[in-house]
Each structure stands twice: as C-alpha cells, then as structure tokens.
C-alpha cells in the first residue's frame, strides 16, 4: 500500500534521486543533432508534470 513503511535491516542505507530536469542528446551524421530536455514543473511529486524543451544547433 502507498505510504506503508518497508521493513529494512538496521545497516541499510539509500538515496532518493529526484531529478529536476533530464536532457537527451542524439547525434546525427548531418551534425544537426537532436537535443531535448524535460523540466519538472512542480516540486510536489503528486502534482509534477514535465515540460518538453527542444534545442537547436
């Protein structure tokens, strides 16, 4: 169930990674590479949407 605590051993540790943006780059032979970035629109994960940004050379 959501929000339920997961049992872990006492020596367990971990990290939570919550990216604010993610960028992708795709190289092309023509050197007109394709770059896109997704940017998070809200800090609250339940309300978050992702905005797409495209970059041109």
Which residue do the tokens 């939570």 mark?
16
| Domain annotation covers residue 30 | yes
- The residue segments making up the domain with residue 41 are 21-55
51, pLDDT greater than 70: yes
Number of structural domains found in the chain: 1
| Domain annotation covers residue 4 | no
| Domain annotation covers residue 48 | yes
Specify the pTM. 0.62
Q: What is the reported pLDDT for 57? A: 65
Model pLDDT for residues 9-48, shown as the tens digit of each residue: 999 888 888 899 999 999 888 888 889 999 998 877 778 8
- Choosing from 31, 37, 40, 54, the catalytic residue is 31
| Domain annotation covers residue 3 | no
Nearest CA-CA partner of 37 in 27, 50, 24: 24
Q: What is the reported pLDDT for 11? A: 94
| Domain annotation covers residue 41 | yes
Question: How far is 41 from 25, CA to CA, in rounded Å?
Answer: 21
Residue 40 designated active-site: no
């Amino acid at each position: 169930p959501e929000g339920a605590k997961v049992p872990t051993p006492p020596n367990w540790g971990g990290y939570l990674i919550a990216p604010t943006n993610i960028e992708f780059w795709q190289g092309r032979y023509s050197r007109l590479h394709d770059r896109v970035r997704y940017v998070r629109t809200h800090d609250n994960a339940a309300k978050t949407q992702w905005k797409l940004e495209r970059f041109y050379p």
